[in-house]
């Protein structure tokens, strides 16, 4: 068993990644140009909360220097779909991007808004959903 765990640890050290659920979170410093966030961009991926893995689409609606507005579209198993507004702060140098929720546009029963705390590295935004009962998210810039 120790040998098996050592081999898994060695793979993570060599690749510089840690697996979190289905997501690959970079752990090494990535020498890539962080994407400049722009109005109209769409970022697609997934996040995990109590209901399970859920499809996520972030749409950037406004950029004013480091202040970012976005829409958080989610779709859980084609059964529960919703949209709410986000406001955030982006540090392009470090890639740190934090979003706080605002009002609902389309709210399914039993759902609540969530906060996001993560990093943009290249064309990937990843991190944690900081709301209780949730864990990680990862989205990729698609347009």
Domain containing 94 equals 30-141
Burial class (CB in 10 A: 0-12, 13-18, 19+), 58: buried
Task: Pick from 5-19, 32-46, 62-76 the range whose average pLDDT is largest.
Answer: 62-76
> 67 lies in a domain?
yes
Q: Can you give the pLDDT at residue 35?
A: 72
Non-local CB neighbours of 66 within 8 Å, separated by 6+ positions: 89, 90, 91, 92
> 71 lies in a domain?
yes
Residue 122 β-bridge partners: none
As a whole number of angstroms, the distance between CA 142 and CA 54 comes to: 18
As a whole number of angstroms, the distance between CA 142 and CA 131 comes to: 26
Residue 7's SS3 state is: helix
> 24 lies in a domain?
no
Q: Can you give the pLDDT at residue 123?
A: 93
Into how many domains does the chain fold? 1
For 10, 83, 109, 123, the CA distances from 106, given in Å and listed in that order, are 45, 5, 10, 28
Task: Pick from 13-22, 29-38, 116-125 the range whose average pLDDT is largest.
Answer: 116-125
Measured at the alpha carbon of residue 45, what is the angle toward residues 7 and 49, in degrees to the nearest 5?
80
> 94 lies in a domain?
yes
Q: Can you give the pLDDT at residue 33?
A: 64
pTM of the predicted protein model: 0.76
> 53 lies in a domain?
yes
Which residue do the tokens 């993570």 mark? 12
Does 24 score more than 70 pLDDT?
no
> 49 lies in a domain?
yes
> 3 lies in a domain?
no
| CATH number of 84's domain | 2.40.128.120
Q: Can you give the pLDDT at residue 110?
A: 87
Q: Can you give the pLDDT at residue 36?
A: 81
Q: Are 73 and 57 within 8 A, CB to CB?
A: yes
> 2 lies in a domain?
no
């Amino acid at each position: 068993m120790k040998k098996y765990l050592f081999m898994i640890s060695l793979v993570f050290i060599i690749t510089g990644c840690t697996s979190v659920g289905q997501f690959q979170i970079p752990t090494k410093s990535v020498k890539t140009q962080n994407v400049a966030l722009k109005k109209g961009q769409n970022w697609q991926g997934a996040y995990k909360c109590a209901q399970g893995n859920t499809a996520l689409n972030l749409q950037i609606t406004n950029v004013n220097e480091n202040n970012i507005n976005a829409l958080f579209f989610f779709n859980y198993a084609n059964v529960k779909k919703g949209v709410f507004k986000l406001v955030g702060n982006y540090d392009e140098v470090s890639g740190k991007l934090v979003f706080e929720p605002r009002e609902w546009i389309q709210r399914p029963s039993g759902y609540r808004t969530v906060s996001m705390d993560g990093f943009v590295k290249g064309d990937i935004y990843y991190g944690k959903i900081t709301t209780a009962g949730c864990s990680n998210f990862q989205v990729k810039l698609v347009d």
